[in-house]
């Protein structure tokens, strides 16, 4: 795997709650090379939210991958996941706090999706080709 440097305008366009922790090449399930990107944010209640996505290097593929992730997030399931740990190890103490936090997480993920969609739309206005690549740059390897 090799680290990838993302275009700064793409990094800047991502919703302010999220940071990009890593982006590198990675083999996918079909043994083809793909791009792995990890976004990270913290929920209002303090839950660490790593979001790992695989895509082919195009904005369309990243949007599709993130859309699928957002479509599978279920607020009720998220609350059920943490309900047994209420009030322990930083987990909110009430069901209502868990529910509000899960709703906020859902919105944060959708806001990230919208920011990437808006980036893609702005690039489409600049380039009518349609398959907007992110101009990914492989970071040079460092010697030991």
Q: What is the pLDDT of residue 3?
A: 77
**73 in any annotated domain:** yes
**144 in any annotated domain:** no
Q: What is the pLDDT of residue 48?
A: 93
Locate tokens 């990890």: which residue?
38
**Tens digit of each residue's pLDDT (9 = 90 or more) over 39-56:** 999 999 999 999 999 988
Domain range enclosing 82? 4-138
**120 in any annotated domain:** yes
**143 in any annotated domain:** no
Burial 1-29 (b: 16+ CB within 10 A, else e): eeebebeeebeeebbebbeeeebeeeeee
Q: What is the pLDDT of residue 140?
A: 57
134 and 58 Cβ atoms separated by less than 8 Å = yes
Q: What is the pLDDT of residue 137?
A: 58
Looking at per-residue confidence, does 15 or 105 come out higher?
Answer: 105
């Amino acid at each position: 795997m090799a680290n990838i440097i993302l275009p700064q305008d793409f990094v800047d366009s991502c919703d302010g709650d999220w940071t990009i922790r890593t982006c590198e090449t990675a083999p996918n399930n079909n043994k083809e090379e793909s791009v792995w990107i990890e976004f990270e944010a913290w929920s209002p209640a303090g839950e660490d939210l790593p979001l790992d996505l695989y895509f082919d290097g195009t904005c369309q593929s990243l949007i599709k991958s993130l859309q699928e992730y957002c479509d599978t997030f279920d607020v009720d399931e998220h609350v059920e996941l943490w309900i047994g740990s209420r009030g322990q190890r930083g987990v909110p103490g009430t069901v209502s706090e868990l529910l509000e936090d899960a709703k906020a997480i859902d919105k944060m993920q959708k806001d990230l999706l919208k920011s990437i969609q808006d980036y893609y739309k702005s690039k489409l206005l600049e380039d009518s080709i349609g398959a907007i690549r992110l101009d990914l740059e492989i970071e040079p390897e460092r010697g030991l």
